[in-house]
């Protein structure tokens, strides 16, 4: 017994009780890989950690479908709650295992696990344990660009949730900060001869030289027609209407012949980055492949670790309204 369970106890404090209960502080998964996937046959979701350095071990939690929603790419759709609680044995099951050989990365997500891998020890969770999944957005640092529009979060005053167009989407998450249907990324810079305004030492395109950069200006050329209205009939992209060879009409104050009001907003969807931290309280594991009732009881919360997901699509709707169907020409890149 001491020989086979030694790998898991080498870096933790423990105490053995007469009834076969071993009280521990932690399992050694500090340097392990933590990840998430849809389980075999999409019957459950799985959060798992494994390591192949000196010993072959894993700790995994199967979660009932519906607790975590996933998109078509298998990524977690970020829940509204900052922390989700999962009651183990009613909504999920934690399992600790020791193997006879290395554990491949796809072991927990395969319908048929490799036949050469044998489980030498298995321990499963009992009632009363609770798993907490804490969500953190990892793209809100000052120098990050959460909406991918070419401006850092700091430049878009993310700490105060600045919302220039008051559409309910803060500028640091808004691909069209002034809601003029020209994406912010397109309105930042022009040619070398275009007028600019300097803000905090940085130059920004300012077509009408009114001191408001185009990406925050509802009427870029100050011709009295809002930029969003200077479009071809039935379209929403102002950059598609160009009556002369100089520039698009929305940046040409001399072109005022087209005024086509519309209430359709271009796609505001973005990709975001998240991290999920996994903690389990009240954890007790019971060994399954032996006759006695030996168990591991955790005296402190078990910190399983964290995993990250990048470029997770997120739907954002100006004024909390998303059109049921947008014309094809309104979708696409921010360029």
Token digits of residue 282: 């009240």
Residues 190, 210 contacting (CB under 8 angstroms): no
pLDDT digits (tens, 9 = 90+) for 100-120: 999 988 888 888 878 889 999
pLDDT-above-90 percentage for the chain: 66
Decide: helix, strand or coil at residue 107.
helix
The pLDDT confidence band at residue 210, using thresholds 50, 70 and 90, is very high
pLDDT digits (tens, 9 = 90+) for 13-26: 444 444 556 666 56
d(CA 286, CA 301): 17
Q: How far is CA 9 from CA 25, 215, 264, 332, in A?
A: 10, 58, 61, 54
Q: Average per-residue pLDDT in the chain? A: 87
Residues 8, 1 contacting (CB under 8 angstroms): no
Q: Which residue has the higher pLDDT, 99 or 292?
A: 99
Q: How far is CA 250 from CA 108, 235, 240, in A?
A: 55, 14, 10
d(CA 85, CA 82): 10
pLDDT digits (tens, 9 = 90+) for 261-320: 988 999 999 999 999 999 999 999 999 977 666 888 898 899 999 999 999 999 999 998
Q: In terms of C-beta density within 10 A (0-12 exposed, 13-18 middle, 19 or more buried), how is residue 8 classed?
A: buried
- At 22 the pLDDT is 63
Nearest-Å Rg of the Cα atoms of the chain is 28
pLDDT-above-70 percentage for the chain: 86
Relative to beta strand 202-205, strand 83-87 is: unpaired
| Extents of the domains making up the chain | 2-138+272-314, 176-267
- At 263 the pLDDT is 86
Decide: helix, strand or coil at residue 64.
strand
Q: Which helix (H) or strand (E) holds 187?
A: helix 184-187
Provide the whole-model pTM.
Answer: 0.83
- At 2 the pLDDT is 28
Relative to beta strand 295-298, strand 302-314 is: unpaired
In total, the chain counts a number of residues equal to 335
Residue 302's closest CA among 53, 67, 132, 134?
A: 132
Which DSSP category does 328 fall into? G
Q: Which helix (H) or strand (E) holds 125?
A: strand 119-125
């Amino acid at each position: 017994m001491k020989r086979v369970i030694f790998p898991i106890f080498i870096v933790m404090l423990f105490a053995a009780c007469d009834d076969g209960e071993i009280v521990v502080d932690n399992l050694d998964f500090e340097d392990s890989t933590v990840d998430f996937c849809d389980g075999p046959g999409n019957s459950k979701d799985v959060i798992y950690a494994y390591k192949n350095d000196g010993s072959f071990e894993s700790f995994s939690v199967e979660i009932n479908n519906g607790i975590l929603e996933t998109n078509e790419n298998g990524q977690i759709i970020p829940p509204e709650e900052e922390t989700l609680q999962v009651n183990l044995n009613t909504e999920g099951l934690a399992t600790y295992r020791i193997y006879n050989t290395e554990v491949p990365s796809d072991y927990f997500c395969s319908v048929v696990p490799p036949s050469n891998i044998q489980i030498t020890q298995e321990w499963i969770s009992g009632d009363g344990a609770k798993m907490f999944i804490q969500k953190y957005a990892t793209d809100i640092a000052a120098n990050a660009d959460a909406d991918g529009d070419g401006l850092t979060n700091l430049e878009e005053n993310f700490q105060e949730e600045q919302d220039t167009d008051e559409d309910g989407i803060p500028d640091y998450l808004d691909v069209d900060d002034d809601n003029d249907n020209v994406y912010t990324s397109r309105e930042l810079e022009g040619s070398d001869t275009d007028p600019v305004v300097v803000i905090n030492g940085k130059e920004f395109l300012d077509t009408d030289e009114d001191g408001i950069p185009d990406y925050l200006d509802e009427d870029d050329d100050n011709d009295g027609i809002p930029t969003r209205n200077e479009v071809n009939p039935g379209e929403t992209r102002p950059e598609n209407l160009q009556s002369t060879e100089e520039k698009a009409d929305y940046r040409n104050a001399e072109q005022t012949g087209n005024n086509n009001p519309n209430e359709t907003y271009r796609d505001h969807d973005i990709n975001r980055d998240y991290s999920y931290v996994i903690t389990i309280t009240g954890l007790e594991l019971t060994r399954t492949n032996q006759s006695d009732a030996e168990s591991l009881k955790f005296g402190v919360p078990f910190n399983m670790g964290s995993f990250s997901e990048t470029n997770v699509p997120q739907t954002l709707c100006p004024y909390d309204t998303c059109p049921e169907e947008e014309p094809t020409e309104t979708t696409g890149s921010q360029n």
